[in-house]
Structure 1
């Protein structure tokens, strides 16, 4: 039996999460029969976790009070009673927010192949990249040569989505907060970047379209909602498609947030706005894995990431830094070497 530490939720947020919502607790971990113990190397922190801290979330099970938080993590098997998962195997699973995780074989989502960076399975080769691919390919039906707008393009999903669109020969405009992130996006191949903090997004998006020689948007991949979604609707062309992935501009709200004021344009222009939950599309995962593995190997897609904290005791602070926009690309917490 080994001592580990884990992060437990002890209160529900009212608006923006605060450090007093969680506590770090010591616990004993024993392997037992038909299980493995994994020393976690790194864990993902993601915006959706804020929603699961609330008891009102309806697209996933809320985190339980008094229980550890969960999320994707990669780690190394340090004890095993499962023949197919010997010690030393590196695996992906969803029992993050712990130093050590006891897993049944069916809780291991993937074994990390030799020579593969384990962090890639938290980013472009993991749920993050799969979300970007599903939204563009399966939901928006992206076609080569189209004009695409990615909101929160410097975030984990947005940065990969922009590169997937570029890989298909599209013209890509991304929104982000601040000039430093804008430079990162240009380095990833984005054709134009708008800073949503610098002025009205509607005007900035109009200027970006003119700069790339396009009259309208064909596809929007929206992670933000609010003003940015409204601006996208304004500049969509006829029969445009909007994949609704997130709405981070509303996550801190304590009362209902009004929707875009220009939905009448969606009727006039015959737009399609479709929300999606990536878990509904697991049957397409092998096709994504094959393509993303190839894109990463040949450099078509790179996997930007930011270490937002080091150590389980600082994990929630890292989560809050991610929510504050202090990271670019995939945000993760290092837990062990």
Structure 2
């Protein structure tokens, strides 16, 4: 009840300003002392996936902490893993503001951020300073100014730089807010991307005697045949996991609302069924050869359980945290 009262005030602010203000307040030293008093540690319920042991099944999706500035706070919430980013080789400001829009009646968010971040070097510094004892993943993307035909180089740069500082790497080729990015999910571009990142992974593994798993984050707007093609490639190149899914450009679930005129990726409850459909198809095609991380529209314990029943080994939360607060995360962890 306390969170919902606070949320009413926060929702009076611009969403992006509210996001930054809230995280900065919660990350302050005084608030950390308060959190330590009232948020007791949650017992670990280990889950093995990608060759890693996760303290529990519930993770923070990419986008909430792009620059790794709030790792210690999210650690206190009990997340078994935190995915930072999306981060790019060079800093970039992203798309024009306003670029985040709430739809409270649908428990949804539309964003058109455009990979705004402070660059991978800054993220590495923040990871080094953190005390998080769970699993850290880093979600990487290409810089906006990099032509799509040269985009593989951006991913390889990020892999090389972040390899020693993360537990897994997520390749973001499915954001709808960077021009032509989703083209990397298809045909020769997809094949070349997977081939190059697996070669780089092998090179780094040999160099550092450390194997860092690589996951591919895909779109919810793919057709069944496209998902089948992607599944075959994931198996062929022995990709370590697939994250299903990113945000959707399908606004049909909010078509009668004023917000339907806003462009950008839709997340939250309206994404739930599309994400579940993708997970279901992936599970049938992958036959447990590639683990699935389910994300998209998890707003209740039943929604979380459904993702797992459909084949997800781990789940990630974003909009659910915005609409239901820290207690929701702890509830999921305990009940799952």
Q: Which has the higher strand share?
A: 1
Larger radius of gyration: 1
TM-score by length of 1: 0.31
TM-score by length of 2: 0.31
Q: Which has the higher helix share?
A: 2
